[in-house]
Amino acid sequence: MSVAVLISGRGSNLQALLDAGLPITTVISNEAEAKGLETAAARGVATRIVEHRRFSSREAFDAALAGEIDRAAPQLIALAGFMRVLTPGFVARYKERLLNIHPSLLPAFPGLRTHERVLAAGAKVHGCSVHFVTAELDHGPIVIQAAVPVRSQDTAETLAARVLRQEHVIYPRAVRWFLEDRLVIEANRVRVKGNDAQLVFAAD
């Protein structure tokens, strides 16, 4: 069993996956300066850089990315703060083998700057979701979610930190379920064989 993790930056979710002892064999970044590359290298995990700027189209970048992934032959590809939109062809190639972590309670707040948007909307609950990746951005079948309160004194930073703590809880859980072959996608719904809880409530 092996997992390839795709990153663009900080890599705290990558770190959580590594800390959980998951079999991550390759980390690929589209940014040469991504801090997560250092984290991976420090653990002896192979790292690759595929800079999107060097490619003239999304298709060409995704083909190079797929080349690196296929060399590593992972069962699962986990997007962890990977800030590129993937082409439908790429998504189809790894159908039901691509997971992403998104910092909102999907289907609410897909896209960027979720914490700011949650505060601006006056929402009282926020959170994060691990979902299978489909061609529609941030819309694939949801594996697990964690909900956190939005507090009146929150800033985007304090809220992001509360959500991030839960990202680090639910992402390793989802990846483990996948590797244990416990995830069943039925229409747009994901069931976990053995009925583990797919929702976490966290106060802080």
Binding residue (CB under 6 A) for ligand GRF from 5, 6, 13, 172: 13
* Given the residues 52, 102, 126, 139, the one annotated as active site: 102
In this structure, is the dihedral angle defined by the CA atoms of residues 146, 152, 155 and 156, taken in order, positive or negative?
positive
Least distance to ligand GRF from the beta carbon of 194, Å? 26
Least distance to ligand GRF from the beta carbon of 164, Å? 6
Binding residue (CB under 6 A) for ligand GRF from 6, 30, 87, 103: 103
Examine residue 74 and tell whether it contacts ligand GRF (CB under 6 A): no
Question: Which among 82, 71, 72, 58 has a CA at the least distance from the CA of 7?
Answer: 82
CA dihedral 41, 176, 172, 110 (to 10 degrees): 110
Least distance to ligand GRF from the beta carbon of 80, Å? 5
Task: Tell me how many residues contact ligand GRF (CB under 6 A).
Answer: 15
Grouping H, G, I as helix, E, B as strand and the rest as coil, residue 82 is coil
Tell me if residue 126 is catalytic.
no
Question: Which among 177, 173, 175 has a CA at the least distance from the CA of 194?
Answer: 177
Least distance to ligand GRF from the beta carbon of 103, Å? 4
Examine residue 166 and tell whether it contacts ligand GRF (CB under 6 A): no
Examine residue 167 and tell whether it contacts ligand GRF (CB under 6 A): yes
Question: Which among 127, 123, 128 has a CA at the least distance from the CA of 151?
Answer: 123
Examine residue 140 and tell whether it contacts ligand GRF (CB under 6 A): no
Examine residue 31 and tell whether it contacts ligand GRF (CB under 6 A): no
Tokens of 159: 């809220």
Residue the block writes with tokens 């190639």: 93
Longest dimension (CA), the chain: 49
Cα separation, 11 vs 81, in Å, equals: 7
Question: Which among 18, 34, 62 has a CA at the least distance from the CA of 26?
Answer: 18
Stretch of 11-19, 105-113, 132-140, 177-185 contacting ligand GRF, by CB under 6 A: 11-19
Cα separation, 191 vs 204, in Å, equals: 27
Nearer to ligand GRF, 64 or 130 (CB): 130
Examine residue 86 and tell whether it contacts ligand GRF (CB under 6 A): no
Examine residue 101 and tell whether it contacts ligand GRF (CB under 6 A): yes
Active site positions, annotated: 102
The site for ligand GRF (CB under 6 A) is made up of 7, 9-13, 36, 80-81, 101-103, 128, 164, 167
